[in-house]
Amino acid sequence: MLKKGGERSNSLNKRGQVTLFVILGIIIVAAAILIYIFYPQIKNSLGVQTKAPSVYMQECLQKDLQDYVDKLSVQGGKLNPSVYILYKDQKIEYLCYTNEYYKPCVMQIPGIKGSIEGELSRGLKDKTDSCFKSMIDSYQGAGYDVRSDRGDTTIELLPNRVAVRFNSTIVLQRGETQRYSGFNVVVNNNIYELASIAESILNWEARYGNADTTPYMVYYNDLKVEKYQQSDGSRIYIITDRNTGNKFQFASRSYAFPAGY
């Protein structure tokens, strides 16, 4: 009889353990469902910080901006060169050009800096629009009421950096109100300085049909300025920052002479 009582006691203990595990399982599943449903509120109560617009846009746009700057730098400031020379399988835009012999070249664009800014604005338009929309969607998905006043977007070449400026206002409300007016995306690149040197070289090309690269390297110790003469009278100029490896290359054809002259 004692043996039977012990068996009954063990059976009850096992049933109790099974019941306990079932209850714990139900609690865990219910907790997971509640966390999924109320995740935005839980994030807020735990003090998790939402990314500011400048941080979000920097992460979304930085790589594309850098890629476009790099592409423009090796193609004479053009995303799609139209008047170009092929050099080492690379299309390089003529920034000063004439197809005649014994004639000075004609500047192809009014200003390199403004032209590059325009190329970047056109090239990045779809990406900037996509990033802005994605940012708004992200805030709304996090439980914010969002009001946005989308202003214009400008791109500037500045000393040692390229900046995308969003002249927009975003108001986020979820309990407290956060207001952001104007934010920037920045990449470090000195294409501004390199383009300025290119402008100077082009002025010599247009006036005298050539430019001496040595004075630039004497005055700017951190620059390497190379010139490669081509058989058709064209010249390829490559300006490189020795410290960063950033470069700007372009072509010119001025006061060219026929073969055998």
* Per-run averaged pLDDT (10 residues), the chain, 261 residues: 51 59 70 60 47 94 98 98 97 98 95 97 97 95 93 96 96 92 95 97 97 97 97 97 96 91 64
Q: Which domain holds residue 120?
A: 53-73+112-188
168 domain residue, yes or no: yes
119 domain residue, yes or no: yes
162 domain residue, yes or no: yes
Can you list the alpha helix ranges (DSSP code H) found in 38-167?
Answer: 39-45, 53-74, 112-141
What residues contact residue 195 under an 8 Å CB cut-off, 6+ apart? 77, 112, 113, 116, 157, 248
80 domain residue, yes or no: no
22 domain residue, yes or no: no
217 domain residue, yes or no: no
- Residue 238 pairs in a beta bridge with 226, 249
The domain total for the chain is 1
| CA distances for 85 relative to 31, 36, 115, angstroms | 66, 58, 19
Q: Is 236 helix (H, G, I), strand (E, B) or coil?
A: strand
63 domain residue, yes or no: yes
Q: What confidence score (pLDDT) does residue 42 get?
A: 45
Is this model's pTM higher than 0.75 or not? yes
Whether 94 contacts 108, CB under 8 Å = yes
What are the two backbone dihedrals, phi and then psi, of residue 242, each rounded to the nearest 5 degrees? -65, -25
133 domain residue, yes or no: yes
